Copies of this chain bind each other. A is one copy, B any other.
């Protein structure tokens, strides 16, 4: 079947291609009788305008590129679900780029981010949303930051839960310091004094912020922070098990509660504690950060700081739509407050 083009429509309607384009894209008024003639030909041939050709004219693709580090970490699908819920209403579709950090050299990941940034620019997406990766670095190199700043000048860009030095970006973030603080205050409120902090990476800003919140809460309550109870080493269930194992090996002085840097580490910590014969929360209280559905699926259910993944995604989609449609008043910085979700893994310490 030879497909009908915009040129065929224009010819048969005896108008210019530009006029057909105006009807298709609703970009300028067209005389009612002409519009009707064109529309009836569009219907007759079931003409489907070629999106690529059209986007060359309109300079819009309806596509938003999303760069994220690890689709198998449930935090990211949750944020994506929020993004989609909102962006779908506006008719956007997604071009998802997974840089796949979980089993990969971290430098390889940043290289892949650069590749994807280039691909997305080449594909002429309407906007780019970044999560994780270099924007989560506490100290990102100037070179890597510059690359993103250059993209930011060419296309609407929104960062979720991260930042880069040297330029101003549109950002949607959760207050991670408040998160670390609130979850620690919850444990202090239950009567805990001996509290550890495990998980994350010291070079990542989310870890730095959550730990800062932890330290602030301890300090304000007049409690000492034991540096040998602070351990970093990743965000996975397996790393959580390992870190918790090291804590439990300190037989002379064990914490009665452990703040974990995310939910997966919290789940690993629960598993390690249970394997070691401890009861959670009877013998030891454990908390997470993220609020992924998985955290409610373990036994005992994990008390956590919800980072409100869906809302993060929705807010980012909304800022992105404002930027793409050039609506005035898009917030440069949108800050959401995390929410403490008290479940079963926390209780007062044994008397």
Residues of A within 8 A of B (CB): 48-53, 55-56, 61-63, 71-72, 74, 77-78, 80-81, 84-85, 93-98, 100, 116, 118-119, 121-124, 237, 264, 267-268, 270-271, 274, 293-294, 296-299
Task: State whether A123 and B51 are in contact (beta carbons under 8 Å apart), knowing that A297-B237, A299-B270, A299-B298 are contacts in the complex.
Answer: yes
Cα(A72)–Cα(B100), bound, Å? 17
Contacting residue for A78 out of B48, B72, B78, B124, CB 8 A: B72
Cα(A299)–Cα(B97), bound, Å? 33
Cα(A84)–Cα(B71), bound, Å? 10
Instruction: Pick the 8 closest A-B CB pairs, nearest first.
Output: A96-B96, A51-B122, A71-B77, A72-B77, A237-B297, A51-B123, A52-B52, A267-B297
Closest-by-CB residue of B relative to A274 is B299
Closest-by-CB residue of B relative to A275 is B299
Cα(A37)–Cα(B98), bound, Å? 37
Task: State whether A121 and B81 are in contact (beta carbons under 8 Å apart), knowing that A74-B74, A94-B96, A270-B299 are contacts in the complex.
Answer: no
Cα(A298)–Cα(B300), bound, Å? 9
CB contacts (< 8 Å) of A267 on chain B: these are 297
CB distance from A235 to the nearest CB of B (A): 13
Q: Do A81 and B85 touch (CB < 8 A)?
A: no
